[in-house]
């Protein structure tokens, strides 16, 4: 699969399709958006591991999952809390240990991505255009 990865700037790289772990689903990316965070990562202003796939605002279709239907259109919340700390017990949104797709984990500037099932939200869409609109779910919610 083709990816946009950080390596002292960004470059297009070919990588294997990721293998999902237990509690994750494999998603085919339908639409991904460019965020200011991606720009900061590309410029080296936010440090990430070499070859990290950037991007976190996206929508997609389920390819492989234990709990979602194949080809189900989904939106994804890209911030993954630890679900263990005292803060998470009150409100996971404020977890001091949260990870972000495209920063701490491989992101959505790729053809496929593995995401924890807890971050996936099925949406009912009639057309491919409508499915792409859900790539904007996170930035709209954050504004």
Q: Rounded to whole angstroms, how far apart are CA atoms 119 and 48? A: 21
Give the pair of three-digit tokens for residue 120: 């996936």
Tens-place pLDDT, residues 28-37: 999 999 888 8
Percentage above 90 pLDDT, the chain: 73
Give the pair of three-digit tokens for residue 140: 């709209």
Tens-place pLDDT, residues 51-64: 999 999 999 999 99
Query: How far does CA 76 lie from the centroid of its chain?
Result: 6
Tell if the pTM clears 0.85, that is, is over it: yes
Over its length of 143 residues, how does the chain's per-residue pLDDT go in tens digits? 999 999 888 999 999 999 999 999 999 999 999 888 898 999 999 999 999 999 999 999 999 999 999 999 999 999 999 999 999 999 988 999 999 999 999 999 999 999 999 999 998 877 777 767 777 777 666 65
- Bridge partners of 57, per DSSP, are 33
pLDDT of res. 17: 97
Give the pair of three-digit tokens for residue 3: 């990816």
């Amino acid at each position: 699969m083709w990816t946009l990865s950080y390596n002292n700037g960004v470059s297009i790289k070919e990588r294997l399709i990721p293998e999902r772990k237990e509690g994750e689903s494999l998603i085919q990316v339908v639409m991904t958006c460019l965020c200011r965070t991606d720009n900061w990562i590309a410029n080296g202003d936010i440090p990430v591991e070499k070859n990290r796939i950037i991007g976190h605002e996206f929508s997609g279709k389920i390819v492989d999952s234990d709990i979602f239907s194949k080809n189900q259109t989904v939106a994804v919340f890209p911030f993954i809390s630890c679900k263990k700390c005292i803060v998470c017990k009150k409100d996971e949104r404020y977890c001091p240990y949260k990870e972000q797709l495209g920063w701490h984990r491989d992101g959505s500037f790729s053809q496929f991505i593995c995401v924890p099932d807890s971050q996936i939200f099925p949406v009912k869409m009639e057309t491919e255009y409508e499915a792409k609109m859900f790539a904007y779910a996170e930035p709209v919610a954050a504004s």
